[in-house]
């Protein structure tokens, strides 16, 4: 797809929150917050000629490696309209850092920094981006979060919570587990009241190894003060790590 005539290096998209994206309290779910942020990034890629279809001409796709989300105000509710802004901080070789912000009534309510890899969907490994990207201005000094990615300690001791088998509904267009599914699995193991009261101030996810249909995985959890750690393992190797930071 060619570069859109109205392409800009900083992209904005308005989204209306629908009822399927909301908790029983009518507020946006954390999982759907992540979905909206990433859909905005995808829209920007489409406008800039780096869409999934464009990249598939070279058997490539963007896959998420890391994401840090900071929530600075109450999340939107059903029928609210939010503005989501996104831009590229850095893009070199097979890696890109993209920032994303969500605004409600002109006030920033969430920000995310994301780390993406160019993934060859046939060879199942990272490789340099095959498409030109010089028309995207990069913003190395413009950040959406107060803190950058942290180093999640994946060797941390954690107790087994449950086992899962990867099913068809877990998979996405790249034919592996969609990144928000991991977050959904982990949140579902917590006390319902803890999640519904919207007490998260930030969370960070690290995607280490892809998971595929029928894989057998184990979810582990550890709680320390205002922080909850999760890992998802397959054959005793960590495929995913999550760190939740709760408001004091």
3-state secondary structure of 168: helix
Ordered domains of the chain (ranges, CATH): 1-149 (3.10.129.10), 151-248 (3.10.129.10)
pTM for the structure as a whole: 0.95
The predicted pLDDT at position 1 comes to: 65
Give the integer Cα–Cα distance in Å for 29 and 192: 12
The predicted pLDDT at position 86 comes to: 98
* DSSP label at residue 57: T
Long-range pairs of 210-213 with CB within 8 A, sequence gap ≥ 24: 210/63, 210/124, 210/176, 210/177, 210/239, 211/166, 211/170, 211/176, 211/177, 211/239, 211/240, 212/166, 212/171, 212/175, 212/176, 212/177, 213/166, 213/167, 213/168, 213/170, 213/171, 213/175
Q: Which of 124, 106, 135 is nearest to 45 (CA)?
A: 135
Query: What does each of the 248 residues of the chain score in pLDDT, given as a tens digit?
Result: 689 999 999 999 999 999 999 999 999 999 999 999 999 999 999 999 999 999 999 999 999 999 999 999 999 999 999 999 999 999 999 999 999 999 999 999 999 999 999 999 999 999 999 999 999 999 999 999 999 998 899 999 999 999 999 999 999 999 999 999 999 999 999 999 989 998 999 999 999 999 999 999 999 999 998 999 999 999 999 999 999 999 98
The predicted pLDDT at position 232 comes to: 98
């Amino acid at each position: 797809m060619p570069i859109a005539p109205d392409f800009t290096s900083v992209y904005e998209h308005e989204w209306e929150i629908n009822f399927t994206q909301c908790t029983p309290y009518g507020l946006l779910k954390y999982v759907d917050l992540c979905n909206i942020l990433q859909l905005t990034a995808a829209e920007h890629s489409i406008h800039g000629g780096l869409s999934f279809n464009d990249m598939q001409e070279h058997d490539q796709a963007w896959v998420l490696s890391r994401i840090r989300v900071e929530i600075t105000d109450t999340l939107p509710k059903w029928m609210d309209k939010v503005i989501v802004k996104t831009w590229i901080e850095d893009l070199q070789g097979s890696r890109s850092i993209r920032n994303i912000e969500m605004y409600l009534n002109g006030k920033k309510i969430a920000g995310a920094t994301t780390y993406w890899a160019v993934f060859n969907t046939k060879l199942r490994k990272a490789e340099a981006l095959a498409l030109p990207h010089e028309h995207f201005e990069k913003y190395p000094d413009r950040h959406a979060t107060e803190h950058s990615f942290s180093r999640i300690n994946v060797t941390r001791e954690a107790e087994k919570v449950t086992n899962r088998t990867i099913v068809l509904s877990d998979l996405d267009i790249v034919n592996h587990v969609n990144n928000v599914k991991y977050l959904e699995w982990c949140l579902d193991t917590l006390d319902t009241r803890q999640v519904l009261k919207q007490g998260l101030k930030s969370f960070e996810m690290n995607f280490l190894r892809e998971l595929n249909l029928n894989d057998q995985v184990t979810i582990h959890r550890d709680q320390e003060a205002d922080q909850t750690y999760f890992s998802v393992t397959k054959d005793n190797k960590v495929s995913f790590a999550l760190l939740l930071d709760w408001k004091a």
